[in-house]
Structure 1
Amino acid sequence: MPLNIIGTAIFEGTDSIPYFHTIKKVAPYVLASVLVKYWSRGPSNTWERKLHGKVYLVTGATSQGMGTSVVHQMARLGAQLIFLTREIDEWSIEWLEGFKEETDNELVYFEKCDLADLYQVRKFATKWLDNSPPRRLDGVIVMSGDMEPLGVPKFAPPVRKLSADGLELQMATNFAGVFHLLDLLQPSFKAQPPDRDVRIIVSTCWLQVLGDIRVEDPLWQKGAYKSALKFFSSSKLQLALCMLELQRRINTGISENAEEKKIERSGKNVKVCVVQPGTMRSQSLRRVLSNGSVFLLLTLYCVLLYPFLWLFTKSGRRGAQSVLYALNTPELEEVNLKDDRAKYVVDCSIVKFARKEFEDPELQKQLYENTSRDILALEKKMAKKRKSAGVKR
């Protein structure tokens, strides 16, 4: 067919080609759209390694977006996966059976652990650590998150949703729960053999650049709730800052005894990586654009905006590429490391953090210590509350 068209254009002229003038007018727009889509989809991960026998804890695996795409690839590569989920019900069990069949991998399990509930996080971490010898752990991949509707001032102001511990839901899910899990699992990371490549991968969002940092009130328990976006962006920013401190603690906090430090391993086999996958057509984006309304979801998102969103944003599978890059790239292996800092991955490349706070270790240390302090205080408070109410969990 193309040869016939070219031959007709050469020997008979373009006027002999049906609809040529219409095609000529439309072609530049089609070409421009193709180029924009090629740019917006982002690069692809080109690294791959065998994951047979490796064990990973994963959050956000059932999102049907980026998280599901990542774990599908990991399962096909032979990894043993433990999905942390809010609830284990009939739907989740059916989903898991289908996942095993699709990936031909039976080493996939569910563990109940709601990151918005500090008690559940501690219960899971304690259960994980209460094992001798220490359980194998090749990495933790955090892809879960919560982004609430922004609201419309005066007409439909944002509603402050609370976690089981009384924290703002986004701050609890995106920051406090993830921080608590990784902080508690430090002994497990440090117990892994020095030749085991352990990776802690935490997804973030470019909206973190809009966030604020409350060093003295890191859980944002004080103050008015004026903007859902501010809580979301701040939760992502504070988590990323704490990940830099977590890397330092894993590297240098092996032992408090100075002489023992000389014979302890460096901790460089454990690498913390913050991944910014880009703007995706995710559940969070749908919830924000529709403001939680089914009517707006069907009209605004699915009809009016979807062509533009398809053109300028990524699918979950494309967003997964940066996470898979962080998981597979040899650049994070100890032998190839150029420095000890936590890494930041954007579009399948290691880049520098944007904000100046990422160059302030003292700020990161103080934020980390205060977050740990406030979480512990909140846990004690909730434990007393459960005891007085006679609640068994």
Structure 2
Amino acid sequence: MPIPFLINVFHEGLPAWFPDPWLVAKCTTAAGALVLTKWYSSGRSNTAERKLYGRVVLMTGGTSGIGAATAFELAARGAQLILLTRHAQTDPFLVEYIDDLRARTGNNLIYAEQVDLSSLHSIRQFATRWIDNAPPRRLDLIVLCAATLTPPGGARTTTAEGIETTWMVNYLANFHLLGILSPAIRAQPFDRDLRILVPTCSSYIASPTLDTEDLHGDQAWTPSRAYARSKLALMVFAKAYQKHLDAYKRPDQLPMNARVVLVDPGLARTPGMRRWLTRGSLFGLLVYMVLYALAWLLLKDPTMAAQSLLYATMDGNLLRGAGGKLVKECMEVDCARKDVDDEAVAKKLWESSDKLIERAEKEAALKRAIAKKAQEKRDEDASRAAQQAAQVEEIEALLGAVKKGRAAKDAKEGQKKNGKKTKSAGDSNPPPRNASQIHPVFFTDKLRRPPFAVASAPHSNPIAQGYVYQDAPRGSEKSAGSRL
């Protein structure tokens, strides 16, 4: 079929229904350009592969963006995940997220610990609990994916401990966490493949230098400068931390096997990137939705951005040689700035960070002590007030019982008095009674006086008040004999 068609086209030209060749060429070129652009912007895929069953992974930022994609891939390969998140363990979002992750990966060894990376006290509490264990807990991988940023035009914010938020979450939290976990890292066996992945961003290239007195950038602060400075500081610290681990002398005289690996995952369509592009406004979000096709074309998917992290986790060549290597697009690359390896800058950054943490923790501890004392005083006052209220209630109950008893007694006495009054009132109008009830029996039946009758006859003997007793005539049968 194609051959006769081509022969016909060669001899007679293109048929009338065939579109313009130049239009076909333009459309084909445009489609090819889009495909090539998408393929290039998606980045390279991970070529290293291995099972992670039995390996313990400590991870920050594992609930969104690149961290969530990385957590899914690690859990799918059997790793035991411990997610450090600011959400409480009973938070509905976190519970549902972990249940969904367990169901999708078939891995039930996924847990969460509440660690607020904007609080030095919260970080110290978790890290202290982790190292306070004998024998030391197993640890195979640490992934520090948590990061934050302020949208362009946003105001500078500080944490409750008075530290700039971007500097605290992106750099100082990782510095504090790894500093406390250092004994647990150094206590791992020699043959254990322990890696510490430190994700970074290409924005560190435009960061101001760290050899100034204003290391935190509080004077000339902008959102972009703050984010870039925090990423540069994190890279400098990662290089210095690798030297710190290498300088440790193990009791078994074997070399240290822990490796710090810097990873640049590239630009991806994450919540942080969306917040940056939309400037944190509804209008910016509308523009982002209209131009989403452009974002889809030029930005990576979070799963593709996680490929470099997976490569840094599973590639065996990274264990050879010194640590502190930078991985980008699933291959080792060089840093774009020389001051990343500057020991003087690293020393100054380390010392200033220690002083900042010490000062902030002292002030926070003092505030907590004052707040605790005030709370104890409020609790004591509340307890005293409760006791007084209970005493008053008890006294009122006792008085109420006394009053109730007195009222009952008075009511009973009133009933008795009312009963006597009723009886006396009844005596004035007595019910009809027979003669024996009116006249008690003082004598025998033979000596009983016969009933009397009241009469007013002239021959009767008058008695007081005009009444007379009328007896039977003397000597008659009805006579009772001699009168007494």
Name the residue aligned to 1:281. 269
Name the residue aligned to 1:265. 254
Compared with structure 1, are the counterparts of its residues 14 and 192 closer, same or farther at alpha carbon in structure 2 (3 Å cutoff)?
Answer: farther
**Are the aligned partners of 1:9 and 1:16 in contact in 2 as well (CA < 8 Å)?**
no
Instruction: Pick from 342, 345, 348 the counterpart of residue 363 of structure 1.
Output: 345
Name the residue aligned to 2:183. 187
Q: CA deviation at 1:131?
A: 0.7
Q: Which blocks of at least 5 consecutive residues in structure 1 are unaligned? A: 152-157
Compared with structure 1, are the counterparts of its residues 213 and 126 closer, same or farther at alpha carbon in structure 2 (3 Å cutoff)?
Answer: farther
Name the residue aligned to 2:117. 115
Compared with structure 1, are the counterparts of its residues 332 and 25 closer, same or farther at alpha carbon in structure 2 (3 Å cutoff)?
Answer: closer
Find out whether 1:309 has 2:304 as its counterpart: no
Compared with structure 1, are the counterparts of its residues 78 and 100 closer, same or farther at alpha carbon in structure 2 (3 Å cutoff)?
Answer: same
For residues 39 and 10 of structure 1, what CA distance do their matches in structure 2 show? 39
Compared with structure 1, are the counterparts of its residues 136 and 20 closer, same or farther at alpha carbon in structure 2 (3 Å cutoff)?
Answer: farther
Name the residue aligned to 1:377. 359
Q: What are the superposed Cα offsets for residues 334-368 of structure 1, whole Å, 9 maximum, x if unpaired?
A: xxx13x24111111111111111023123213312
Sequence identity of aligned pairs in percent? 36
Name the residue aligned to 2:226. 231
**Are the aligned partners of 2:196 and 2:261 in contact in 1 as well (CA < 8 Å)?**
yes
Q: CA deviation at 1:291?
A: 1.0
Name the residue aligned to 2:448. none
Find out whether 1:329 has 2:330 as its counterpart: no
**Are the aligned partners of 2:115 and 2:123 in contact in 1 as well (CA < 8 Å)?**
yes
SS at match of 1:186: helix
For residues 96 and 126 of structure 1, what CA distance do their matches in structure 2 show? 25
**Are the aligned partners of 1:218 and 1:371 in contact in 2 as well (CA < 8 Å)?**
no
Give the letter aligned to residue 96 of structure 1.
I
Q: Number of aligned pairs? A: 368
**Are the aligned partners of 1:219 and 1:371 in contact in 2 as well (CA < 8 Å)?**
no
Name the residue aligned to 2:208. 212
Q: CA deviation at 1:225?
A: 5.5
Give the letter aligned to residue 275 of structure 2.
R
Q: CA deviation at 1:373?
A: 2.5
The higher radius of gyration belongs to: 2
**Are the aligned partners of 1:206 and 1:278 in contact in 2 as well (CA < 8 Å)?**
yes
Find out whether 1:342 has 2:324 as its counterpart: yes
Q: Which blocks of at least 5 consecutive residues in structure 2 are unaligned? A: 376-484
Q: CA deviation at 1:6?
A: 7.7
**Are the aligned partners of 2:232 and 2:340 in contact in 1 as well (CA < 8 Å)?**
no
Instruction: Pick from 303, 314, 318 the counterpart of residue 304 of structure 2.
Output: 318
Name the residue aligned to 2:80. 80
Compared with structure 1, are the counterparts of its residues 217 and 146 closer, same or farther at alpha carbon in structure 2 (3 Å cutoff)?
Answer: farther
For residues 182 and 326 of structure 2, what CA distance do their matches in structure 1 show? 20
SS at match of 1:364: helix
Name the residue aligned to 1:155. none
Q: CA deviation at 1:28?
A: 0.6
For residues 54 and 5 of structure 1, what CA distance do their matches in structure 2 show? 58
For residues 209 and 159 of structure 1, what CA distance do their matches in structure 2 show? 23
For residues 17 and 178 of structure 1, what CA distance do their matches in structure 2 show? 66
Find out whether 1:242 has 2:237 as its counterpart: yes
Q: RMSD over aligned Cα, in angstroms?
A: 2.1
**Are the aligned partners of 2:236 and 2:341 in contact in 1 as well (CA < 8 Å)?**
no
Higher RCO structure, 1 or 2 (CA under 8 Å, sep 6+): 1
**Are the aligned partners of 2:195 and 2:260 in contact in 1 as well (CA < 8 Å)?**
yes
Q: CA deviation at 1:295?
A: 2.8
Compared with structure 1, are the counterparts of its residues 329 and 387 closer, same or farther at alpha carbon in structure 2 (3 Å cutoff)?
Answer: same
Compared with structure 1, are the counterparts of its residues 252 and 226 closer, same or farther at alpha carbon in structure 2 (3 Å cutoff)?
Answer: closer
Q: CA deviation at 1:128?
A: 0.4
